Structure 1
Amino acid sequence: MRVLTTSLALALLASPAMAADFSEGSTAKSWNLYAEAPAFFEAKVVDITCEITGDCTDNCGGGSRQIGLLRAADGVLVFPNKNAQSGFQGAAVDLLPFCGKTVEVDGLLIKDEDIQGAANIYQVQKIRETGAQEWTKANTWTKAWEAKHPEAAGKGPWFRRDPRVNAHIAQTGHFGLGLEKDAELIKELFE
């Protein structure tokens, strides 16, 4: 029985999930987030919908779909939901030029077995095609947003000027409870 228990324990420790330590080689900067760990790995840039359902489009959806990283070391589909910018913008804009290519990424991996859904969530900070020397910083979201919305130029954070955000607020109010309730709350809180 003791030999069986020891063999089982050694087999579990040898499994890819237990052996994988993606921190080696990472130069990612900490965001001081719960369960973050530096993670450097090779992956194929994929369309998540295509990978999961088989509903595939050209060029990973051309920006209309969420992008994923199919990690080479273990075949795990990693969700890069943040880029290197402080506003927690998504990483799809930064990864789209690499659609279908094998890349190396450096960033922070969030993984917590105790929180359902907090597994293999990635915050990509740098990307480069495998074999390339130069890194691409994952910080182009705001520039892409500005190019898409030149009418929203001005001071302040992008989301205060975003036409979609402002249209939604105009319809539902700042609290999403309707304009009438919004006005009551603003009066109560700020006057």
Structure 2
Amino acid sequence: MIRLALIAALAAAPAIAQDFSDGSEAREWGLFGEKKALFTAVVRDPLCVLTGDCADDCGGGARQVVLIRQEDNAMVFPLKNAQSAFNGAVADLAPFCGQKIEVDGLLIDDPEIGATNVYLVQRLRPEGGDWQRANTWTDDWAAKNPGAEGSGPWFRRDPRILNEIEQEGYLGLGPDVDQAFFKDWF
């Protein structure tokens, strides 16, 4: 029985040790545990994969998406796109729900820091298509927030964030605590 468990564990180990850097043109960010990674995957809704709670079109951009890597059937979590801010990758990947695509980016896989199959997708290519940059998050945000024009970073104008600050204050402890804090410190 112990031998069978050891064989099963060893069979699973190569998926972690695989090198997906061959052919990758990803730009390194200098993040701890990052490696260039180019692979083929199917875009899926993780709630659907894990629990059977499936939504049309992977939730239409309202849910996180995952990449089911073709080489080893591993679930890879694309948490960032190619933009310099740490914007999510859902806007770039959700349109390809259920489709096989190639992705190129950075894979962070370091059990010591608790990161396993965390992916920063920089570009993608649908089957039979051309490579495209994964950088649509800001345009997607602007389309969803037409009344938030202005200068400065998006998060200073985001209605959801402004509403949260109005309700909970900048410190998250309420506007009265904010007032006392700012009076004492500034």
TM-score w.r.t. length of structure 2:
0.91
- 1:53-132 aligned at under 5 Å gives the runs 53-116=51-114, 118-132=115-129
The runs of 5 or more residues in structure 2 that have no matched partner are: 1-5
> 1:16: how far off?
2.6
C-alpha separation in 1, matches of 2:16 and 2:56: 35
C-alpha separation in 2, matches of 1:125 and 1:56: 27
C-alpha separation in 2, matches of 1:65 and 1:13: 32
Identity %: 55
- Which aligned segments of 4 or more residues in structure 1 are displaced greater than 4 angstroms? 11-15
Q: Say whether the 8 Å CA contact 1:42–1:130 is kept in structure 2.
A: no
Matching residue of 1:185: 181
The structure that has the greater radius of gyration is 1
C-alpha separation in 2, matches of 1:107 and 1:18: 17
Q: Say whether the 8 Å CA contact 1:84–1:139 is kept in structure 2.
A: yes
TM-score w.r.t. length of structure 1:
0.89
Matching residue of 1:138: 134
Matching residue of 1:155: 151
Q: Provide Cα deviations, 1:129-182, integer angstroms capped at 9, x if missing partner.
A: 1333x1111100000111111110000000000011000000111110111111
Counterpart AA for 1:21: D
Root mean square deviation of aligned Cα: 1.9
> 1:12: how far off?
4.5
The runs of 5 or more residues in structure 1 that have no matched partner are: 1-7
Number of paired residues?
180
